[in-house]
């Protein structure tokens, strides 16, 4: 039992960073428990802005973790079934507004991309990306975070074909890596674009 105390203390000092607040992103629910196990889900529930890097270690010690169903590097393992009520219906070429809630900054790079959930590969190119200076600490604490990092529009690609026609096949994933902190944050919006 003693070892739990420093573990929690460590977790709380590194906790809290960010997520997509609009459109509604995947959250931890029963499907995530079934796929990833309770340790991972409890960690995300305790702080839904937390990073990916601590999760594989928790998963490895949890018999409820099913690697075939839970890819921690895709949406932090969060599942489509828990967000099925929030599937966005978009059209090719549509402009979609995305809002990000940053709670603790770590300067780094980021992108928002359409990801094939079967392969965890970006389809095409990121819809928007920041090579550096995303969520910069100085700007954040001076309340001068560029608005285009946290409230921006992306254009839904016109060449998706039928790849994203079924709910769950694709996500719009916000993906941020804090280069100093060496931490990744992922947030996933479920959507469909009907086949042309
Ligand atoms: C994260 O948690 C906050 C409240 O703690 C909630 O309002 C928000 O909807 C959650 N968002 C995600 C994407 O988990
Ligand atoms: C995003 O698009 C909406 C209309 O769809 C527009 O009102 C808004 O100004 C755009 N925001 C940015 C940051 O371009
Ligand atoms: C998107 O961002 C993530 C995190 O910064 C990075 O690892 C990945 O290589 C980026 N992808 C592309 C295609 O730029």
pTM: 0.90
- The distance from CA 96 to its chain's CA centroid, rounded to whole angstroms, is 17
Instruction: pLDDT band for 25, please (50, 70, 90 cuts).
Output: very high
**Structural contact between residues 156 and 193, judged by C-beta atoms closer than 8 angstroms:** yes
80 touches ligand 2 (CB under 6 Å): no
Ligand 1 probe mutation, 48, 79, 83, 102, most atoms within 8 A of CB: 48
Delineate the domains of the chain, giving CATH numbers in brackets.
20-193 (2.70.50)
Beta bridge partners of 112: 128, 174
Nearest CA to ligand 3 atom 10: 111
**Chain segment 89-139, per-residue pLDDT in tens:** 999 999 999 999 999 999 999 999 999 999 999 999 999 999 999 999 999
- Average per-residue pLDDT for the chain: 92
Q: According to the model, what pLDDT value does residue 92 have?
A: 96
Q: According to the model, what pLDDT value does residue 138 have?
A: 93
Instruction: pLDDT band for 161, please (50, 70, 90 cuts).
Output: very high
Ligand 3 probe mutation, 110, 111, 115, most atoms within 8 A of CB: 111
Q: What are the two backbone dihedrals, phi and then psi, of residue 126, each rounded to the nearest 5 degrees?
A: -55, 145
Question: What's the CA-to-centroid distance between 96 and ligand 2, angstroms?
Answer: 8
Q: According to the model, what pLDDT value does residue 16 have?
A: 58
- 71's CB contacts (< 8 A; 6+ apart) are 77, 120
Torsion of CA 130, 124, 167, 33, to 10 degrees: -50
Q: Cα–Cα distance between 124 and 130 in angstroms, integer?
A: 16
């Amino acid at each position: 039992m003693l070892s739990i105390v420093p573990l929690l203390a460590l977790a709380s000092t590194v906790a809290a960073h960010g997520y997509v607040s609009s459109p509604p992103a995947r959250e931890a629910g029963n499907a995530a428990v079934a796929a990833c196990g309770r340790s991972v889900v409890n960690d995300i529930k305790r702080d839904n802005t937390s990073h990916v890097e601590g999760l594989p270690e928790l998963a490895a010690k949890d018999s409820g973790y099913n690697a075939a169903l839970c890819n921690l590097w895709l949406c932090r393992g969060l599942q489509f079934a828990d967000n099925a009520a929030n599937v966005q219906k978009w059209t090719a070429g549509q402009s979609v507004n995305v809002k990000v809630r940053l709670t603790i900054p770590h300067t780094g790079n980021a992108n928002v991309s359409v990801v094939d959930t079967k392969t965890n590969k970006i389809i095409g190119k990121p819809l928007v990306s920041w090579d550096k200076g995303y969520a910069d600490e100085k700007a954040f604490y001076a309340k001068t975070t560029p608005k285009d990092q946290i409230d921006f529009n992306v254009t839904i690609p016109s060449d998706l074909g039928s790849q994203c026609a079924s709910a769950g096949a694709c996500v719009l994933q916000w993906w941020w890596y804090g280069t100093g902190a060496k931490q990744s944050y992922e947030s996933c919006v479920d959507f469909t674009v009907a086949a042309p």
